Structure formats: C-alpha cells, structure tokens
Amino acid sequence: MICADVERDLDPYIDRELSPEIAAAIRGHLDTCAACRQRVAERERLGRAVRSMPYRTAPERLRARVAGHARRTRSTRDLLAWAAAAVLVIAIGGGGFALVRSGGSRAGASGPDNLVADVVNAHVRSLQAEHLFDVQSTDQHTVKPWFLGKLDFAPPVVDLAGMGFPLVGGRLDYLSGRPVAALVYERRKHTINVFVWPASDATPVDTAQLVRGFHVHHWIRDGMSFWAVSDLNDAELSDFARALQNS
C-alpha cells in the first residue's frame, strides 16, 4: 500500500465501502504516513462542512450544472468538491455562510460538537459496513495485546460479561485524523462502541447526550478519553458507563 493507493481509495475508505482487507491495508499505511492522515482529516472536514450547511433547494440551473459535471467525471473527489461548492453557494445566497479552518489533527481539534458528530458517525459506519472488528474475541487478554504497535498508547480493555455487557472484540478506527482504539461490547443484540484515546485535558468530565437517536456518554479516566455510543436505552448505557469507569 502506497500513498497513491490511499488517494485512489480515500472516499470509499472514509465511507466504509471497501473490503475489510483493503481497509486494513489503508489503516496500516495511515499508521506510518502523516501526509495521508492529513488527507483523511481534510476529507472528513469537508464532509462535516457539507453536512453542517442549512438545507435549501438548489436553483434549477445550479442543479443542472452539478448533474452535468457528475455525468462527465468519474472522480468522487471532484464531485464532492462541486457538491461542497454548491452547498456554500446556496447557503451564502440564503444569508448564511460557513468557514472551514484547517487545523490540527488531534481528536477534538475541530470542537466538541463536531467531535460528538464524528463519534456517532464512526459508530454508524461500523454497523453499516459490517466492520466492527479487526480482532473478534471475548477474551480481554486477546484484544488488548492486539493493539500493541498499532497505537502510541495502550487502551485499557476489560470484560464486563459478569455485569451483562460482554466484550466481543476491537478494531482500529480514526477520529479527526488520528488513530483511536474502538472496543466493542454487547447488551443483548445492541452494539456498544467505546472509542478511547489519550485525553488532551486532565479535567474530569462525565456527560451524556442523545445524537441522531444514539445515546453518547463521555468521560475521562486515568488520562484517557472514553466515548461510549449505542442505540441501547440511556439507563442501561449509563449502567455500562459506570461499570467501565469503576472497573
């Protein structure tokens, strides 16, 4: 896997449309290539900019231009650029505007609201693309060593099967341009994704919110930032979060 391969498959990679083998090869390349990690971060920012724009019906002439361009090109990247430009034109015409600023690649650099949206999007993508696991196991002593050498930190991995939340595996994921650990738990048939990376702020936090129908809990413990996401009801996800914090 080289940079040209990542550039070619960047959009389907972000949308989780690639086969598990190709996606794993790209993740391996991203571990060692800062330039490609930056490309991923920039493309994610573009997607957030498009999704954050207020919806307005496009004028027929603009819609015809975008449709004509889509027929003439095979490049998803060019089409995304056109779509982003179209959204900005419509938003500006309606009296609003958005500023997308290129910044650092650390998780959380794009602001708390965007980070919450990224966490939920990563959860949804993992379910849609059927790529929940890079390592599938209920044994914490199998899952934890799998991350060695793949991250610059050691995520804490515990099994909560005794409390009704069994560990079922883990994977490497990316949020705001940096690799993070994703630990996967289950409650009956509900999937719980727990994203973990070093906290940039040592201030303890414990927040819960509902985003697009998913419950999200965030806390910081022992220098690590934890984000738990699931369609599980909030009472049970709160029990899970407390159990993980006290483990």
Q: In the structure encoding, which two tokens stand for residue 25, read together?
A: 């090869």
Q: Indicate the length of the chain as a whole number.
A: 247
C-alpha to C-alpha distances, 48 to 84, 101, 206, nearest whole angstrom = 10, 12, 25
CATH 3.30.200.100 segments of the chain: 112-245
Name which of 182, 177, 220 is nearest 201 in CA terms: 220
Q: Which of 244, 153, 240 is nearest to 200 (CA)?
A: 153
| pLDDT reported for residue 23 | 83
pLDDT, tens digit, 9 for 90 and up, residues 178-208: 899 999 999 998 999 999 999 877 666 678 9
Q: What is the pLDDT of residue 67?
A: 67
Pairing of β 206-211 and β 167-175: unpaired
60 has pLDDT over 80: no
* Rounded-to-integer distance, Cα 113 and Cα 216, Å: 12
Residue 99 pLDDT > 80 = no
pLDDT score recorded for residue 111? 55
Model-level pTM? 0.58
What's the token pair of residue 189?
């048939």
Element (H, E) at 213: none
pLDDT at 84: 55
| pLDDT score recorded for residue 33 | 86
- Look at 102 and 32; give whichever has higher pLDDT: 32
Helix 34-52 to helix 3-14 angle (10° resolution) is 30
Fold of 112-245: Phosphorylase Kinase; domain 1 (3.30.200)
Over residues 61-96, the pLDDT tens digits come to: 766 676 666 555 545 555 555 555 555 444 444 443
In this structure, how many other beta carbons lie within 10 angstroms of the beta carbon of residue 38?
Answer: 13
Q: Give residues with Cβ within 8 angstroms of 192, minimum separation 6.
A: 165, 184, 185, 186, 228, 229, 230, 232, 237, 240
CB 98 within 8 A of CB 49: yes
Where are the alpha helices (H) located in the chain, listed in sequence order?
A: 3-14, 20-32, 34-52, 60-72, 76-93, 112-128, 140-146, 234-245
